[in-house]
Amino acid sequence: MEHGSTGLNQYPVLALCHSILFWRIRHSGTHSNPSTLQNILHMSFEGFKALRHIILSLQKENSTVT
């Protein structure tokens, strides 16, 4: 049961990252500058890796508490 609740908590974080990513794409005029799009995609990938690391460490903490 607790395992499922930690899974649900991940989705709002990922949704937030997606909305930030799309906001940045919209406001930086990437349709005329593909390198900017590449930079944003790279940054979002790095951010996703960091997020994944945080989520995994939080899950480890939760599993050690119980």
Q: Taking the model in full, what pTM does it have?
A: 0.39
pLDDT value for 10: 60
55 contact partners, CB below 8 Å, separation of at least 6: 10, 13
Distance CA 57, CA 18 (A): 21
Residue 24: both structure tokens together: 């940045």
Q: pLDDT tens, 7-44?
A: 555 667 777 777 777 777 666 654 556 677 777 788 88
Range of the domain at 42: 2-65
Q: Is the pLDDT of residue 48 over 50?
A: yes
Q: How many domains does the chain have?
A: 1
